[in-house]
Amino acid sequence: MSQHYFTICAIFRDEARHLAEWMTFYELQGVDHFFLYDDQSVDDSKAAIQPWRDRGMVTYLRVGGGLRRQAGAYQHCLKNHKTKARWIGFFDLDEFAFSLDGKPLRDFLAANENIPGLGLNWAMYGSSGFETQPTSLVTTSYQLRAPIKYKISDPELLIPGKPRTELSSYLHPGAHIKSIVNTAEVEAYVSPHSFSYRNGAHAVDATSRPIRDTPFNAFTEEPLAGPMRVNHYWSRSLGEFSAKLETPRADSDTLRYKEMARFKEVHMSMEYDPAILPAAHAVAERLGRPYAPGTEEDWMERLQSENDRRSRA
């Protein structure tokens, strides 16, 4: 029997401000251990995770420079830790996976131990127009997201062999998956989003359909808003987003294409979606933090402001 049941692997840099919320959120989802790779943080990230280390819930490794650090961390985690866990989820610090019915993800995994892996789609959340990070939780601060099925002409999402001049040639950004792998079935890392499995098997999506025949099997054919998903707080505040543009990506060590990134950001605050709030409330209670999600009227006013900002972009 594995030492742990539901675990998370993540690589991060300078996330001291957000680690407690993220780890508490996943602990409430049933995670019992974290494999954390610290990508040269210079803030107080190590101190932020200490309460979980004190409880024996963290395996911590500080990693050095080099290319494709995210790939290296994920591959190291599989090689060294997959025998210690029944399930490993691979998520970033701005990604919060949950079930819309309010049940912990662990419950779904325990009821579906025969699947090779679970791939959950992104719901892409933008800045909601905040210049700086509000004092409340990430999961209550940003409640405006992109439409689930929106498309943009992002070169990274061009379907191989398709003409780049047609919007239909591009995948939905939200069709990306993030994976929770069954360690008895996973074989190898393929991408930050996907893995290969024994006997040619495939991970399944939130409706139990196999994920196949897309690039790297890292996308579903259509993005799903439920019954489970990943809220991806892609930009957080505009100030944090600007800093993100100057930070090399952990998956490639390259900077993001700034004009495309800015175009994407203004299209990520177009719809109000507070589905994660019950989970956020539980996190706030556990941490003893204020729970201040605002009213729907507040968010409709902010949505109009974001529509105005987009029209000026």
pLDDT per residue over 54-101, tens digit each?
999 999 999 987 778 999 999 999 999 999 999 999 999 999 999 999
pLDDT at 255: 58
Nearest to 220 by CA among 187, 183, 179: 179
The yes-or-no verdict on residue 124 having pLDDT over 60 is yes
277-287 helix and 16-28 helix, angle to the nearest 10 degrees? 110
Question: DSSP 3-state assignment of 271?
Answer: strand
CA distance 310 to 119: 31
| 199-220 pLDDT tens trace | 999 999 999 999 999 999 999 9
| Nearest CA among 8, 264, 297, 20 for reference residue 147 | 264
Domain boundaries defined on the chain: 4-312
- Taking a C-beta distance cutoff of 8 angstroms, is the pair 139, 280 a contact? yes
pTM over 0.75: yes
With a cut of 80, say whether residue 264 has pLDDT above it. yes
Whether the CB-CB separation of 127 and 269 falls below 8 Å is answered with yes
Burial 50-76 (b: 16+ CB within 10 A, else e): eebeeeebbbeeebeeeeebbbbbbeb
Is the pLDDT confidence value at 251 over 70?
no
Helix residue ranges per DSSP H, 130-179: 138-141
Least confident segment among 152-166, 207-221, 239-253, 288-302:
239-253
Residue 257's pLDDT is what?
A: 64
pLDDT score of 248: 72
* pLDDT tops 70 at residue 256: no
Length of the chain: 313
- Dist CA 215 CA 224 (whole Å): 17
Q: What are phi and psi of 48, to 5 degrees?
A: -65, -30
* Of the candidate ranges 62-76, 162-176, 188-202, 213-227, the one whose mean pLDDT is the lowest: 62-76
